Amino acid sequence: MTTNSKIAISFIRYLDENGRPVSSLPDFAKKYDELLELYRLMTLVRKFDAKVVSMQRTGQMGTFASSLGQEAVSVGIGRALKQTDLFFPYYRDQGVLVQRNVKLLEVMQFWGGDERGSHFIGNKEDFPIAIPIATQLVHAVGAAYAVKLRKQNRAVLSTCGDGGTSEGDFYTALNGAGTWNLPLVFVINNNQWAISVSRKIQTKAKTLAQKGIAAGIDCLQVDGNDVIAVKEVVGEALDKARDGGGPTLIEALSYRLCDHTTADDAGRYVDKEDLDKAWQTEPVKRLKSYLLSKGRLSPEQEQELEKSNQAEVNQAVEEYLSLTPQPPESIFDYQYENLPEALLEQKEELELFLQPDNRN
Ligand SMILES: [Mg+2]
């Protein structure tokens, strides 16, 4: 017997759970300004998420997906992408979006059911947030194919959750990316839960990264609670993609410290001990511990940061609450350039209904 293939999945981490370096840090992480910016972004996203959840609880927001505990995944990705790259988000990517000229206000509009939130006024190239599971990965393949055809020097990145890796679209996307050697990076935010389905019973595969092997594409795991590792690994994969080196599948290991969305109650199925343990390894605390150990984060800086984050979130909330709601008939305005006959009829019916005389 001969062995034709062996599985080896690397796992990359720079800071351990207590914020202590386990190896020499990459060059960018030797600049404290950069680390403080990563810290600022993670704490901003955490504050934003908490506020939007509380708004949902008080009837001021639609269903919302917090990224509590996974801030390093999205912030690291956002910091690694160049503005000229293309991004295809899933629904827990606010930490990327805020770095791509997408306003917090627009993210709120999206979750508030206002389609104008998907316009991304300052960003005309990235795709809007995808709610259907893993569909965005296939869209990213199409875009990456176009980038390659046009010989553009840019990479495409798309994200999904651990549950997304069980979808047909996930495998289709991987196969296309590999077959055409596309300038594409997939990042799985493995937060250990697909709503209430634990990662343990999601698949028999030992890692989610290894799903890339069948597609012939490079794949690895990164500590998704270590923002330095996420930025470094994603950055390298993006460089390789732009240089014609083909696609990469990255599995970022994190833990969802919140409900799946505000429509869920994780208290019904998450083991409290697991959750308590996960709080010990969360990403904000980890980077903070490192910065404190280097004397690079003073109580005054922390207070300043807290204040500026709060002001930024407050500003978005204020703008959101003062928006003029869209008229009901606007629900027909965003899916089609030209409305199909059946929807045209429904729109006319709604307009008729909305006339003052017909509403009693
Ligand atoms: Mg998940």
Take residue 140 and report the two structure tokens written for it: 């990213």
How far, in Å, from the CA of 38 to the mean position of ligand 1? Answer: 23
Take residue 175 and report the two structure tokens written for it: 């196969």
| Gap between the Cα atoms of 284 and 302, Å rounded | 12
Which position has the token pair 């990145």?
157
**For this structure, is 256 an active site residue?**
yes
* Strand residues in the chain grouped as ranges (E): 11-12, 86-88, 156-161, 184-190, 193-194, 197-198, 218-223, 248-253
Q: pTM higher than 0.85 for the full model?
A: yes
Going by their DSSP bridges, the two strands 197-198 and 193-194 should be labelled as antiparallel
**Phi and psi based region of residue 61 (left: phi greater than 0; alpha: psi -120 to 50; beta: remaining):** beta
How far, in Å, from the CA of 325 to the mean position of ligand 1? Answer: 32
3-state helix, strand, coil in the chain (%, to 5): 50, 10, 40
Say how many CA atoms lie within 13 Å of 111 toward its Cβ: 30
**For this structure, is 119 an active site residue?**
no
Take residue 335 and report the two structure tokens written for it: 């899916």
Catalytic residue selected from 46, 92, 100, 256? 256
**For this structure, is 150 an active site residue?**
no
Contacts of 212 (CB under 8 A, 6+ apart): 174, 178, 186, 218, 219, 248, 249
How far, in Å, from the CA of 275 to the mean position of ligand 1? Answer: 14
Kindly state the DSSP code that residue 21 receives in the 8-state scheme. Answer: B
How far, in Å, from the CA of 217 to the mean position of ligand 1? Answer: 22
| Gap between the Cα atoms of 12 and 26, Å rounded | 12
Longest dimension (CA), the chain: 83
Cβ atoms 228, 222 nearer than 8 A: no
How far, in Å, from the CA of 348 to the mean position of ligand 1? Answer: 41
Catalytic residue selected from 260, 286, 290, 320? 260
| Gap between the Cα atoms of 225 and 286, Å rounded | 8
φ, ψ for residue 280 (rounded to 5)? -75, -20
How far, in Å, from the CA of 51 to the mean position of ligand 1? Answer: 21
pLDDT tens per residue, the chain (360 residues)? Answer: 999 888 899 999 999 999 999 999 999 999 999 999 999 999 999 999 999 999 999 999 999 999 999 999 999 999 999 999 999 999 999 999 999 999 999 999 999 999 999 999 999 999 999 999 999 999 999 999 999 999 999 999 999 999 999 999 999 999 999 999 999 999 999 999 999 999 999 999 999 999 999 999 999 999 999 999 999 999 999 999 999 999 999 999 999 999 999 999 999 999 999 999 999 999 999 999 999 999 999 999 999 999 999 999 999 999 999 999 888 888 898 889 999 999 999 999 999 999 987 765
Cβ atoms 328, 350 nearer than 8 A: yes
How far, in Å, from the CA of 256 to the mean position of ligand 1? Answer: 7
Q: Which amino acid is present at 140?
A: A
| Gap between the Cα atoms of 254 and 224, Å rounded | 5
Kindly state the DSSP code that residue 15 receives in the 8-state scheme. Answer: B
How far, in Å, from the CA of 118 to the mean position of ligand 1? Answer: 23
Q: How many CB atoms lie within 10 A of CB 199?
A: 17
Cβ atoms 108, 117 nearer than 8 A: yes
How far, in Å, from the CA of 142 to the mean position of ligand 1? Answer: 24
Catalytic residue selected from 57, 269, 334, 336? 269
Fold of the domain spanning 11-326 = Rossmann fold (3.40.50)
Compute CA distances 169 → 1, 136, 252, whole Å: 35, 9, 19
Which position has the token pair 């935010």?
189
How far, in Å, from the CA of 149 to the mean position of ligand 1? Answer: 33
Supply the Cα-derived Rg of the chain in whole angstroms. Answer: 21
